[in-house]
Amino acid sequence: MSCRCYNKKKCEDQKEHHSYKLGTWNVRTLNQAGKLENLKTEMQKNEVSVLGVSEVRWKGQGEVRSVDYTVYYLKGEQAERGVAIVVHKSVVRSVVKKIACNDRIIALKLKAEPGDILLMQVYMPTSEYEDDEVEKVYDTIEEILQDGRGDTNSIILGDWNSIVGDEPYQNVVGSHGLGRRNHRGQMLIDFCERNGPNVTNTWFKKPKRRIYTWKAPGDWKRHQLDYIIVKLRFRNSVKDVKTLPGADIDSDHNLLVAKL
């Protein structure tokens, strides 16, 4: 992706570093004193330009602007669930459209060269919900993807609450996932087959501590539940994907970051 989607100073930075980072993180809540500042500190420390966030747990929808970051967020009437996309000031001027859906999906359209970027953050239902609820979310994602046809690069970030596992599957899943595929993981693969994206964080060989995105209380088991998904034709633009377990926001999920 060309650095022309940013301002001049950012372009100079991109030329020097030849990459930029985006990520996704289930933070469990931002509805606590200091949590948003904590999040922005971790973004700055890890040089993440765009971050999709699950379980914001704010009410309503809107934007929160600060000196360096803008938070686009969406939530229902209750202070639970909720999603957001946090954008560094160097990227904000590239945002041309906000797509507000529900407390599980939010999307931004970014102006870029050679093609625009449709960036989506999702928070999939947990195993406590029936498959019908999961299918509703996938249906909504597919509707939004109509905005990402042609040369637009669609990037879907989020907590998918599914395990695609370490068994490769065609061009959708690589051999460097974690664990054994479950039913919800197969649903994610079926979605990718229908729509053309692939699960990027299964294509990079990493130690397990850089693969798992969630751990159970007491750390007795670890799973890969969060994924960064891109169109197959743009897969080569993704240079690296890994978790950053050292990033701390008092969550059972790790920050997952892709370098493009």
Domains, the chain, in order of start with CATH, read: 3-259 (3.60.10.10)
At residue 77, the pLDDT reads 60
How far from 35 is each of 42, 52, 248, CA to CA, in Å? 11, 15, 10
Name the residue with tokens 């969630």. Answer: 214
Contacting residues for 39 by C-beta, under 8 A, at least 6 apart: 25, 27, 30, 51, 53, 86, 249
Name the residue with tokens 């947990």. Answer: 126
pLDDT digits (tens, 9 = 90+) for 150-196: 889 999 999 999 999 999 999 999 999 999 999 999 999 999 999 99
pTM for the whole thing?
Answer: 0.91
pLDDT digits (tens, 9 = 90+) for 213-225: 999 999 999 999 9
Alpha carbon of residue 141 to chain centroid: 13
- Quick one: pLDDT band at residue 2, thresholds 50, 70, 90? very low
* Mean pLDDT, the chain, whole residue set: 91
In this prediction, residues 204-208 reach a mean pLDDT of 97
At residue 78, the pLDDT reads 60
How far from 238 is each of 165, 185, 200, 228, 231, CA to CA, in Å? 20, 22, 8, 10, 11
- Quick one: pLDDT band at residue 79, thresholds 50, 70, 90? low
At residue 3, the pLDDT reads 36
At residue 150, the pLDDT reads 80
Contacting residues for 170 by C-beta, under 8 A, at least 6 apart: 193
In this prediction, residues 35-64 reach a mean pLDDT of 95
Alpha carbon of residue 86 to chain centroid: 11
